[in-house]
Chains A and B, each alone.
Chain A
């Protein structure tokens, strides 16, 4: 096993409010790591520190380190644009751009300097195939992304992230706005993607974490309560609070 992201003593604040308290975790390469916990436990805040999306919110600060590629991602030597190119993200609500399907997929690559049409065409095809959307949209790449169904839109957003050839894929509750059929498609997709990518997923649903993840981290009120192999966390949790949560006693 090799560690992809190593978080050490991370504290995180929104203004005076401490949202994360002394987080230490090692995210393994080419595994699916799930973050579970009740609303407001800090799991979404935490995943958003990994590609520094929290920089966009005024008045946030942190202490501690997030080591990726041998460097703290908050160090001045790391360019946030370069970081986000390697650490992609899929959001809770599908958010395709108001452009064609094709333009959505090439949005990132174009902005990172790929101009050749043949190269872009190839990126579109492989990304959409990897996101299991190619067969459904190959004949209408020029139609608006907003004409797709919710589940298709979310897979397009995954394709858009894959088009950057990321190293890590962060998914912040990617199925919470989708129906069961679309959800199971995304879950199948995650199974396939983990051969190539390191995936971190925040989920509300413990069943989902159980189905798709290799490792699970349980958060509660800004603390990382327990972290380990998913099968172990669900069968024999060490912490009483984890047990209470996964047996449905609260949350």
Chain B
């Protein structure tokens, strides 16, 4: 075999290899989705959204879990976005990298993004539930999730801010802008698509997280929708967990129904991220 033939053979081999690896992942995902839809689709009806959970499969719904998830994620967005973007702005624009403390903080925020969510759950239980006395409430859950996703938002926003070309900043400074005017006029508009994409992906992670919220005490059997942030609550992932651990097989199919709704919410969040990113990118590039 000539050298060229050998190289061609290797080329084809690796092309085939990476293709089959991708195919493998897609097939697994396909089977999973098919299985979930096969089991859960029949439960999707208006009643499924308007009923609370119940001992009887035909009466059980996700009203409490869905409203709990929406409350929790709404509050989490309100808490985490300003704190996350603000922190990223401080770290990238104002802090001094020659300072050892700044460097340690930057390194550790990246590390925090990899901490398991149960650890944040225990922290939330100790601080928000007991120390601050918020109890096993929506507020405690949302604050815990905020801690969980803050590092992700900060790191994503830092990357987006770092990607703003130096030339643009200098252009703004050369026109006699103050630092804040440069941030508001050039840095934020330019980095907004990146910040939004990162934040929404982080929020989607928070929406699907179970362990941390379970730890601060979301309860699985709730027959009311929350009226205030101090109310008890449950969320979709916990409802799913609860139903799938029931002995009766029909509840497992019911869990599949709730999974479909959760997936739709997650896909919806990702779609919003993509639409927002494209919209702002187009506005920039014109």
CB-contacts of B170-184 with A (<8 A): 170-178, 181
- The DSSP consensus for interface residues of chain B is helix
CB-contacts of A85-126 with B (<8 A): 85, 88-89, 91, 93, 95-100, 107-108, 111-112
Contact with B along A111-154 (1 / 0, CB 8 A): 11000000000000000000000000000000111110000000
8 residue pairs A–B, Cβ–Cβ below 8 Å: A56-B170, A95-B167, A97-B171, A98-B168, A111-B177, A144-B286, A147-B285, A157-B171
Interface centre among B171, B175, B181, by most A CB within 10 Å? B175
In the complex, the answer to whether B189 meets A98 with C-beta atoms within 8 Å is yes
- With A95-B170, A99-B189 already in contact, the answer to whether A147 and B286 are too (CB < 8 A) is yes
CB-contacts of A185-235 with B (<8 A): none
In the complex, the answer to whether B172 meets A97 with C-beta atoms within 8 Å is yes
In the complex, the answer to whether A84 meets B284 with C-beta atoms within 8 Å is no
Partner of B171, one of A58, A95, A164: A95
- Determine the chain A residues whose CB is within 8 A of the CB of B172 once the complex forms: 97, 107
In the complex, the answer to whether A85 meets B176 with C-beta atoms within 8 Å is yes
B98 within 8 A of A: yes
Bound form: Cα–Cα A53–B174 in Å:
7
In the complex, the answer to whether A111 meets B189 with C-beta atoms within 8 Å is no
A92 CB, nearest partner CB in chain B, Å: 9
B170 CB, nearest partner CB in chain A, Å: 6
B→A interface (CB under 8 Å): 98, 165, 167-178, 181, 185-186, 189-190, 283-286
Partner of A161, one of B165, B170, B174: B174
B158 CB, nearest partner CB in chain A, Å: 19
A172 CB, nearest partner CB in chain B, Å: 10
B171 CB, nearest partner CB in chain A, Å: 4
In the complex, the answer to whether A81 meets B186 with C-beta atoms within 8 Å is no
- Determine the chain B residues whose CB is within 8 A of the CB of A97 once the complex forms: 168, 171-172, 185-186
A34 CB, nearest partner CB in chain B, Å: 20
In the complex, the answer to whether B175 meets A143 with C-beta atoms within 8 Å is no
- Determine the chain A residues whose CB is within 8 A of the CB of B189 once the complex forms: 98-99
Bound form: Cα–Cα A85–B178 in Å:
11
Of all chain A residues, the one with the shortest Cβ separation from B182 is A111
Of all chain A residues, the one with the shortest Cβ separation from B177 is A111
- Determine the chain B residues whose CB is within 8 A of the CB of A145 once the complex forms: 286
Closest 7 CB pairs of A and B: A144-B286, A85-B176, A108-B175, A98-B284, A95-B167, A84-B176, A89-B174
- Determine the chain B residues whose CB is within 8 A of the CB of A179 once the complex forms: none
- Determine the chain A residues whose CB is within 8 A of the CB of B186 once the complex forms: 97
Bound form: Cα–Cα A112–B185 in Å:
13
A106 CB, nearest partner CB in chain B, Å: 10
In the complex, the answer to whether B175 meets A107 with C-beta atoms within 8 Å is yes
- Determine the chain A residues whose CB is within 8 A of the CB of B176 once the complex forms: 81-85, 108, 111-112, 164
Bound form: Cα–Cα A21–B190 in Å:
39
B190 CB, nearest partner CB in chain A, Å: 6
Interface centre among A81, A83, A88, by most B CB within 10 Å? A81
